[in-house]
Structure 1
Amino acid sequence: MNTDSEKKDIVLIVDDNSNNLGVLYNLLDDASFEVWVAQDGESAIEKVGYALPNLILLDIMMPGIDGFETCDRLKANPLTADIPVIFMSALSDTVDKVKGLSLGAVDYITKPFQQEEVLARVKLHLKLHFLTQKIEKQNQELEQRVQERTAELSQALHNLQQTQVQLVQTEKMSSLGQLVAGVAHEINNPVSFIFGNLNHASDYIRDLLSHLEAYQQHYPNPVPQITAHAEEIELDYLLEDLPNMITSMKVGADRISNISVSLQNFSRTDTSTKVAVNIHEGLESALLILRYRLKACGNSKAIEIVKEYGKLPLVECYPGQINQVFMNLIANAIDAFEEKTGEAVRNPTISIRTELVNDNFIRIRIADNGPGIPESVLSKLFEAFFTTKPTGKGTGLGLSISYQIVVEKHGGQLSCSSVPGQGTEFSVEIPIKQS
């Protein structure tokens, strides 16, 4: 169990019989354990008060306080309560065995000893004890790391929101991409930690369940107390549900990982050169980020997204900037449903269609069935600082910046058509390859 360079596991033997002490001492010492001895219960309790062993072999019949009383005192002390105790006795009465186990002992060895059995039981319970400690420690570390990362991410998201406001006002769009990429990177660290520990926890739980099944196979008729406890904790349901719980946790961690990938895809900051990308990935990333605004909230109805994606080639562009255009146009469509002017839309819907115009251009159309835009406003939509929103609700830069990205930086076209009372559609055309 230990290499020469590792600290030896400590076993405390408590027995008033010198012959038993000698046999057990030699057996465990030859097995590379560090062995402590005590000849009565008081000495054992005093000895563990100075240093803690990893396991205790405890005789029942001893002068002074017997093994039962000794075990009861050890389990009552928080410092020694978790030390595995294995009772040793010539008593074979089931009542005595049950009493020992009810006091917190993990096993029972009957005298005269079978040395191979003693060694096997000691190694088994040490392994179970260390595995339990390791799982508890990892759970504590995992909880602490999750709390720390949650606080960090909450602060990062708060900073991101504040920076977004300043970003739109100053048109420094590259900063937004860098910040979102940083958040996505930070998400990867705790997610990787969770994934790694879930795999180990799953293995440990499987081993423990297998061990329990082995006990059930070899001891099919347990004592009434164990049967009652199994019914109390709904053991059959626990055995069935525990693996499902681990699987659900893995699914949740995988969902977080997918969100991180989408954030990284949305926040591409490669503004120095144009690269060939999948336009649909950018649309999906924008939808993911705006997903919270699509859900029903208060008096606002849920917004349905209808997607009709055509077969498109990879498109050469500045991905981060094009993704920002998608973000602006979808957000404007959502805003149209939230303005609450006139009669509310019965089934609010945003349609996103992509198609190949010809060998040189693709088109993305983002339409809503909202209240529409008056003709007097259409001609001013792409002017800087023009907005129909109340003060504090918009800067008038979103569509202006989107127009510059599509037309000036990509040589494409951005247009808008609308029918009051029926809805609005924005059309984005960009070349497949840049000259």
Structure 2
Amino acid sequence: MAINSSYDTILVIDDNPTNLEVLHNALGSSGYDILVEMDGLNGIEQAKNHSPDLILLDVQMPGIDGFETCRQLQADPATSSIPVIFMTALTDTSHKVKGFQFGAVDYITKPFQQEEVLVRIQTHLKLRRLSLKLEQQNQDLEQRVQQRTAEVTKTLQELKRAQLQLVQSEKLSVLGQLVAGIAHEINNPVGFISGNLKQARLAMNDVIDYLRLYQTKFPDPDKELQQVAAELDIDYLLDDLPKMFMSMQMGVERICNISTSLRTFSRADADIKVCADIHEGIESTLMILQHRLKAQERRPDIQVIKNYGNIPNIQCHLGQLNQVFMNILANAIDALEDMSQDRSYQTIQHMPNQITITTEFIDDERSVIIRIADNGIGMTDEVKQRLFDYLFTTKPVGKGTGLGMTIAHQIITEKHKGTIAVSSKPGEGTEFVITLPIE
């Protein structure tokens, strides 16, 4: 029944026809809609079907009595909120207490006075209206609280995403400026050395050719020249000198490759994606982490196994993807180093630390998949569930911020509309699977 209904409906359940007639006439003349039943079971069904605003219930009836009828009404969610007033000739206190225990709101003793019945009905109908109004207000308030909570939660999530983007952008910006400066300072002297090495190598070859020709034309030098040639070991020197120039040239090329890898890794990403080679990004990341992959005093080198597939260039923010690769690979190295603490050098040589990088192109799904797996200590289910949570970290204070994998998840899912998943078990290693759609 609506709270503001003009007519209240009252259900009268009584097996006495005279009582029913009296109550029907009295209540009807007072403006109420009246429903009547003469036994408890039919009264319960009537209450379910029409949901009256109040029930007048006789205690002593054939079949189930008023107490049992009230109990069943209160037990049913559809009728439990309807106020019940008992009508009975039983006046002892124990019956009244029993009626209240079964859920009645009031007790009218027969023979009843018409004025008293009307006053009691009006009072309880008013209480019911207030109760329904209060319930509606509580529901509205709860709904507003839920709505406000959802708004606050959404705002908090947006603030977290904004903070992650600021942290990520700041890191890439600072790193990009640093690397650009280093690359500029390296490229100038390296370019100078590389250009002069080429000319010096040509000049050296000319000098060697001249000396070889001189030895041919004058095979019998005097004693002083023979003595100097022996001291210098001139034949070995002429053979070894080109090799030294070759080694220097390789060193210069190595420095150029490192500089290029640094610039590739920290490239500034514009708002618009560019077509890039994922393998190039992975290689630049591995180049930067090379010092951590090399053999150390407590362990041999970490083997990197590359199973590169034939994948196309994709539209992406390569600098940000490199940040994802860096976080995953650095965490893999940490896991392998933690595991190495409990193993001897010889044991690790027999069962080497490995990181396996696999890439493939799924033509049917138009996507590129990158798998990065290690045979380290693995993760528990609890760590896996919280791995991408904001500020979650398993590292000691001062070593990890808890932002790395959260940023990685944001870069893959939001920036590239891809997915990143992890599978791991303690002692069985960890594998990250990144799926990037091809736009």
TM-score by length of 1: 0.58
2:331 matched residue in structure 1: 332
8 Å CA contact 2:316, 2:416 repeated in 1: yes
Which of the residues 344, 348, 353 maps onto 1:348? 353
Q: Is the aligned partner of 1:179 residue 2:178?
A: yes
Return the alpha-carbon distance in structure 1 between the equivalents of residues 400 and 406 of structure 2: 12
Question: Residue 36 of structure 1 corresponds to which residue in structure 2?
Answer: none
In structure 1, the partner of 2:399 is: 393
Do 1:178 and 1:269's aligned partners in 2 also have CA atoms closer than 8 Å?
no
Correspondence 1:127-146 to 2 at 5 A:
none
1:377 and 2:400 are equivalent in the alignment = no
Q: For residue 350 of structure 1, report the CA deviation from its aligned partner.
A: 0.7
Amino acid in structure 2 at the alignment position of 1:387: T
2:299 is matched with which residue? Answer: 300
**Separation of aligned partners in 2, 1:306 and 1:369:** 12
Other-structure match for 1:71: none
1:281 and 1:270 map into 2 onto residues whose CA distance is 15
Residue 390 of structure 1 and its aligned partner are, at CA, apart by: 1.1
Cα contact 1:181–1:268 (8 A) shared by 2: no
Distance 1:216 1:343 in 2: 63
Q: For the residues of structure 2 that align with 1:304 and 1:211, how far apart are their CA atoms?
A: 48
Tell me how far apart the structure 2 counterparts of residues 287 and 424 of structure 1 sit (CA, whole Å).
18
How far is the alpha carbon of 1:211 from its aligned partner?
Answer: 3.2
Let me know the Cα RMSD of the aligned residues.
2.1
User: What is the Cα deviation at residue 199 of structure 1?
Assistant: 1.6
Q: Structure 2: which amino acid aligns with 1:300? A: R
Deviation at 1:169, TM superposition (A): 9.9
Q: Deviation of residue 371 (structure 1)?
A: 0.9
Who is 2:13 aligned against?
none
Amino-acid identity (%): 50
Q: Which amino acid aligns with 2:171?
A: M
Distance 1:431 1:233, change over 3 A: same
Q: Is the 8 A contact 1:168 1:398 kept in 2?
A: no
Q: Alpha-carbon deviation of 1:221?
A: 1.5
Which residue of structure 2 aligns with residue 427 of structure 1?
Answer: 433
Contact 2:371-2:433 within 8 A present in 1 as well: yes
Which residue number in structure 2 is paired with residue 367 of structure 1? 373
Q: What is the rounded CA distance, in whole Å, between the counterparts of 1:325 and 1:351 in structure 2?
A: 16
Q: Identify the residue that residue 418 of structure 2 maps to in structure 1.
A: 412
Amino acid across the alignment from 1:352 = I
User: Is the 8 Å Cα contact of residues 356 and 374 (structure 2) preserved in structure 1?
Assistant: yes
Q: Distance in 2 between matches of 1:341 and 1:384?
A: 29
1:240 alignment partner in structure 2: 239
SS state of the match for residue 417, structure 2?
A: coil
Secondary structure of 2:432 counterpart: strand
Within 5 Å, give how 1:24-39 maps onto structure 2. none
Deviation at 1:347, TM superposition (A): 1.7
CA distance in 2, matches of 1:339, 1:274: 37
Give, in whole Å, the separation in 2 of the partners of 1:211 and 1:341: 57
Paired position in structure 2 for 1:323: 322
Q: Give the Cα–Cα distance (whole angstroms) in 2 for the partners of residues 415 and 177 of structure 1.
A: 28
For structure 1, which runs of at least 5 residues remain unmatched after alignment? 1-166
Q: Distance in 1 between matches of 2:188 and 2:272?
A: 29
Shift of 1:168: 11
1:361 Cα deviation from its structure 2 partner:
1.5
Task: Provide Cα deviations, 1:136-170, integer angstroms capped at 9, x if missing partner.
Answer: xxxxxxxxxxxxxxxxxxxxxxxxxxxxxxx9994
Q: Which amino acid aligns with 2:352?
A: N
Query: Which segments of 5 or more consecutive residues in structure 2 lack a partner in the other structure?
Result: 1-163
**Alpha carbons of 1:364 and 1:403: their partners in 2 closer, same or farther (altered >3 Å)?**
same
Mean Cα deviation higher: 226-235 or 354-363: 354-363
* Other-structure match for 1:28: none
* CA drift at 1:203: 2.5
- Structure 1 residue 339: Cα displacement: 2.2
User: Residues 219 and 369 of structure 1: is their aligned pair in 2 closer, same or farther, counting only changes over 3 Å?
Assistant: same
In 2, Cα distance between the equivalents of 1:294 and 1:173? Answer: 23
1:114-144 C-alpha deviation (Å, 9 max, x unpaired): xxxxxxxxxxxxxxxxxxxxxxxxxxxxxxx
**Which sits farther off after the overlay, 269-278 or 200-209?**
200-209
Mapped partners of 1:413, 1:168: distance in 2: 18
The Cα of 1:341 is off from its aligned counterpart by 8.1
Contact between 1:168 and 1:397, CA under 8 Å: does it hold in 2? Answer: no
Name 2:206's counterpart in structure 1: 207
CA positional deviation for 1:300: 2.6
Q: Which amino acid aligns with 2:299?
A: S
Partner of 1:27: none
Aligned match of 1:230: 229
Q: Is the 8 A contact 2:370 2:435 kept in 1?
A: yes
Higher mean alpha-carbon deviation, 197-206 vs 329-338, is at 197-206
8 Å contact kept, 1:177–1:320:
no
The equivalent of 2:312 in structure 1 is 313
Deviation at 1:260, TM superposition (A): 1.7
Give the counterpart letter for 1:189 in structure 2: N
Q: Deviations over 1:256-295 (max 9, x none)?
A: 1122222222121123210111111111111111011111
Counterpart CA distance in 2 for 1:168 and 1:192 is 37
Deviations 1:336-359 (A, max 9, x none): 012248844632111111112334
Please give the secondary structure, in 1, of the residue aligned with 2:194: helix
Matched, 1:191 2:197: no
The CA deviation at 1:207 is 2.9
* Structure 1 match to 2:131: none
User: In 2 relative to 1, CA 237–174 (structure 1 residues): closer, same or farther, beyond 3 Å?
Assistant: same
Taking the aligned partners of 2:165 and 2:196, their CA distance within structure 1 comes to: 41
Q: Look up the match of 2:249.
A: 250
